[in-house]
Structure 1
Amino acid sequence: MSAVVEQSDAASGGLRAGLRRVEGSLRPRLRRFLSWWGNALAAWLPPGTRDLIGLTPQRLLLRVRERDLELALWRGDEAGVLADVPLAGLGDGGGDPFAMLLAPRALEVPRWLLLPADVVLRRRLVLPAAAGERLREVLGFEIDRQTPFAADEVHYDARVLGNRGDDRIEVELAVVPRTTLEAALAALGPLAPTLAGVDAADAAGRPLGINLMGDARRHRREDPWRGRNAVLLLVAALALAAAMWQMLANRRAAADEFERQVEQTVRQARAASLEKRRLLDLVEGGAFLQSARAGTPTMVELMDELARRLPDGTYLEKLSIEGDRILLIGLSREASALVGQLQGSPLWTSPALAGALQPDPRSRMDRFTLTATVATAPAGAAAGEAGDAAAAR
């Protein structure tokens, strides 16, 4: 049982150690990526804008020159000398000795002590690329071999010079004796606790970009832009949310307007279809009536045909046409022969007497009632005849 517990504890310890190694390897990579990403974004902005929002890296370099202290503002890749201050009497009046010399914005810039190039020992080394993740820790074991000092006798830092391309990197180790650094800090007097770091100058007098001061002694300045950047970030987030909401509202309004237009177009299409249907009905009805009229003889034609077929001794009292039924009522001396007279006409069919003949004593004629059916030609034939008639005209 104890063996199982020991194996479990060993496994959990190995897991924690692995997680610490992963965290330790990811953290510097994340810092380098964020630094590269921030610098790439800042490069797109004009220099004045970068200075306004605090994206241009700045340092107030303090360089000891015999009895004077030179103040230079390092901005980006350029340095401009601001003033020379005597070392004697620094801090005698209390407060910040640079308050009367520098602008308020320059007072907020991190202060760095810049050591001369001849007091710093520099060595170039070639290491595996994996050592770049823990460069300072790895070079801590190389101090005894690369310098005449022990590791506890110096302050050191390193920087990466480049990639050799064969999974190796070229680095530079910078070492300064503790006694030399302590003497330089002592010369600054009350300014030493205000330093954010200690850098070294190269042969041209430019900072190397290292920090030889230990973490415990570095002065952490409160970023004056932190509050403003937080406000700007909040404003940017609110502006982005408002822009997205406005974009969504615009899309919704556009969708509603498109739906309204579609509904209006559908209503217009339905109205046009209904009007077209009505027009077709009217045209078909007119064509039907025209064809019906073309196949039915007119009243003038019927009266003309009756006048030619009825004998001279026949008088009509009533002529009625209802639909296709012809009704004749009148007096005739030859009433019994009227049916024969009316037969064979192309304008009507089936002539017949309706009821018995009634003698009229006053006129000495027979009263008759006669019916017939109007002859109607088929629609196609009637339309053809109407077309022929129109062509003849």
Structure 2
Amino acid sequence: MAGAVDASATPAIATSRAALAGRLRPRLVGAWEWWTTALLAWLPLRLRERLGLLPQRLLLRLHGTDLAVALERAGEPRALAVLPWHDSADGVRVLSRVLAPQLAEMPRWLVLPAGSGLRRTLRLPAAAAERLRDVVSFEIDRQTPFPTQSAVFDARVIALRDDGQLDAELVVVPRRTLDDALATLGPVADTLAGVDLDDGSGQSLGIDLLPANRRLHRTDPRRRWNLLLAAIALCALVAGMWQVLDNRRAAADAFEDASRPVIAQARAASVQRQRLANLIDGMRYLDTQRAARPTMVEILDELSRRLPDSTYLEKLAVENDRLLLIGLSSEASALVGQLEGSPLWRSPALTGALQPDPRSRRDRFTLTAELAVTEVANAPAARGGSDAGG
């Protein structure tokens, strides 16, 4: 069941995609043509004419035994000459003699009278714009009294509608009418680029009724020069961009070479700064540790006040947070009690036994105590601030 649904949905999706593409492509083409036309409108008319940017063609109209020649430029025809056309055998030479060389090289179009053909307006899906001529070929038998084999035709888009459809115009001319007009032109007919139809007001419709096998395709004599100039311009552009890139690379290399000494100095300064920062941190740490312990002067002052006069020291040492006292005293057993309660140390104690000294009649003692270490986190900063303030 699912496979059947998918198989039936696939053609519908393809049809919707084709319809969407058919609606978008004509609009995109129209937008592109409008944009290029608007850009070209900024150029002076004479410059556009010299550069070949204006659509130009020669329009030939038969009026009885006369041939009217007009120049159509940007959709505006301008009469050039009216030539008697009794003998068409020498028509090519006559046109070449009458027209300027620049005009003689332009594409020639025969414009049939408005009454020579039949015009019908058709409403078709927008997707038919891609193959409009093939689509309208099936409408000739139904819309006109001419059989398809005995008529020449062309079609053009008149308007695009918002409902996904377009209005097209079918133009049909009997083949015999076209053949008679070409026979009247004589050899000039072999130089035609196309055949158009008058719209009844002196303007051409912008279609081509001439079969493709009879159209004269003119080659632009300046095409090779234009291609050569375009190739040279492209090469010059690539060379210029390459030169700019090379200049940028050279400038970047020069900047890098000039920056290397500065970068080296910056790195050396960064290393010195780091060393200085480490030194400052070390000094700050030492200052903090020193501020947390009592100074030697304070220890000596406290000992001189607490030790009795009958006691003298042979050795006084401070190792980390440990105070070591070695000396002689006649009151060695009472020294611990005398040293207790000091704010500079704590837990004083005798180490080992007392040893009598017969010469001095005193006891040799060894006494230890733990220094009182306080937490002084901001001691250097406080001291520096104090000094600065003083």
What band does the TM-score fall into relative to the shorter chain?
A: 0.5 to 0.7
Is 1:42 the equivalent of 2:36? yes
- Contact map agreement 1:198 1:212 (CA 8 A) in 2: yes
- Contact map agreement 2:69 2:80 (CA 8 A) in 1: yes
Aligned counterparts, 1:90-239, within 5 A: 97-98=95-96, 101-102=99-100, 104=102, 106-118=103-115, 120-126=116-122, 129=125, 133=131, 134-142=134-142, 146-147=144-145, 151-162=148-159, 171-223=168-220, 227=224, 228=226, 232=230
Aligned position for 2:56: 58
Cα deviation code 1:247-303 (max 9, x no counterpart) = 9xx9xx9xxx9xxxxxx9xx9999999987775554344222211236x66364156
Q: 1:278 to 1:198 in 2, by over 3 A?
A: same
- Contact map agreement 1:108 1:224 (CA 8 A) in 2: no
Q: 1:121 to 1:57 in 2, by over 3 A?
A: same
Aligned position for 1:79: 77
Q: For residue 308 of structure 2, what is the amino acid of its counterpart?
A: R
Q: For residue 332 of structure 2, what is the amino acid of its counterpart?
A: V
TM-score, normalised to structure 1's length?
0.58
Measured after TM superposition, the shift of residue 177 of structure 1 is 4.1
Aligned position for 2:373: 379
Q: For residue 99 of structure 2, what is the amino acid of its counterpart?
A: L
Q: Secondary structure at the match of 2:218?
A: coil
Aligned position for 1:310: 309
Q: 1:152 to 1:376 in 2, by over 3 A?
A: closer
Cα deviation code 1:309-356 (max 9, x no counterpart) = 224xx8x7x85422222344xxxxxx7625257551347843975563
Paired positions, count:
328
Q: 1:161 to 1:122 in 2, by over 3 A?
A: farther
Cα deviation code 1:89-140 (max 9, x no counterpart) = 8885977944773364x5554221112224x132425465487742442244
Q: For residue 138 of structure 1, what is the amino acid of its counterpart?
A: F
Q: Distance in 2 between matches of 1:139 and 1:196?
A: 26
Q: Secondary structure at the match of 1:62?
A: strand
Cα deviation code 1:165-224 (max 9, x no counterpart) = 888765544344444433432343332211111111112101012222222211122255
Q: 1:166 to 1:337 in 2, by over 3 A?
A: closer
Q: 1:382 to 1:212 in 2, by over 3 A?
A: closer
Q: For residue 184 of structure 1, what is the amino acid of its counterpart?
A: A
Select the structure of larger CA radius of gyration.
Answer: 1
Q: Secondary structure at the match of 2:357?
A: coil
Q: For residue 37 of structure 2, what is the amino acid of its counterpart?
A: A
Aligned position for 2:325: 326
Q: Secondary structure at the match of 2:100?
A: coil
Q: For residue 144 of structure 2, what is the amino acid of its counterpart?
A: Q
Unaligned stretches of 5+ residues in structure 2: 1-18, 257-263
TM-score, normalised to structure 2's length?
0.59
| Identity across matched positions, percent | 29
Q: 1:156 to 1:46 in 2, by over 3 A?
A: closer
- Contact map agreement 1:198 1:211 (CA 8 A) in 2: yes
- Contact map agreement 1:310 1:341 (CA 8 A) in 2: no
- Contact map agreement 2:91 2:188 (CA 8 A) in 1: no
Q: For residue 76 of structure 1, what is the amino acid of its counterpart?
A: A
RMSD over equivalenced CA pairs, Å: 5.7
Q: Distance in 1 between matches of 2:208 and 2:32?
A: 21
- Contact map agreement 2:55 2:73 (CA 8 A) in 1: yes
